[in-house]
Chain A
Amino acid sequence: KAGVTQTPRYLIKTRGQQVTLSCSPISGHRSVSWYQQTPGQGLQFLFEYFSETQRNKGNFPGRFSGRQFSNSRSEMNVSTLELGDSALYLCASSLMGDPQETQYFGPGTRLLVL
């Protein structure tokens, strides 16, 4: 079974631009979560989508948004990029998003904002 895939793997943007990242979950998984990982803050939860609905949300500004499609693929968007948005963005999928389920992580998208 194919794992979680994320595209693109690397991105370089400049301040003020916007960016869209894509995540394809494991086949059959309906829950997709997004995380931001930085050396200083570690892994921080952005949001979780299930059946095309945002079900959970972390403490990030409204510049960070996402959506999920009917095939469970998910995208996240960051508008008006700031230098501090430079990070590794990881998505993870699980069957239903229940707390006792394993979340499988994708390889991540490394975003550099100049």
Chain B
Amino acid sequence: QKEVEQNSGPLSVPEGAIASLNCTYSDRGSQSFFWYRQYSGKSPELIMFIYSNGDKEDGRFTAQLNKASQYVSLLIRDSQPSDSATYLCAEYMNYGGATNKLIFGTGTLLAVQP
């Protein structure tokens, strides 16, 4: 089982709708989670970081973390065609010593239809 699982998509939503992207993880000890956006042919860029249960909002983006269910989500309100990209979920795994690392899911492709 992969440590971070995402539906590869594509997830297609109409412009102005809410896009909901989901991510599950297997390690109950994971401390913090990141959402990155990657446009085709470009490198990832950070959108949100969350480490405590509940919601975290930043503009049109809301990240939700539920540690009991081992579930992280990203909501994009008022989706725009410019939001069309691959969204990568990542967890920071802290085992101490030489094994601390950022583990990425394979990403969900979001397509916002004008």
Contacts and interface: CB of A to CB of B under 8 A. Distances in A.
Size bracket of the A interface: 20 to 34
Given A42-B107, A100-B49, A105 B101 contact: no
Interface in A84-114: 90, 99-100, 102-108
B43 A108 contact: yes
Nearest to B86: A42
Interface stretch (B12-20, B57-65, B91-99): B91-99
Nearest to A39: B106
Interface string A17-39: 00000000000000001010000
A1 to B, nearest CB: 15
A39 to B, nearest CB: 9
Closest 6 pairs (CB-CB, A-B): A42-B106, A105-B43, A43-B104, A99-B92, A45-B101, A102-B46
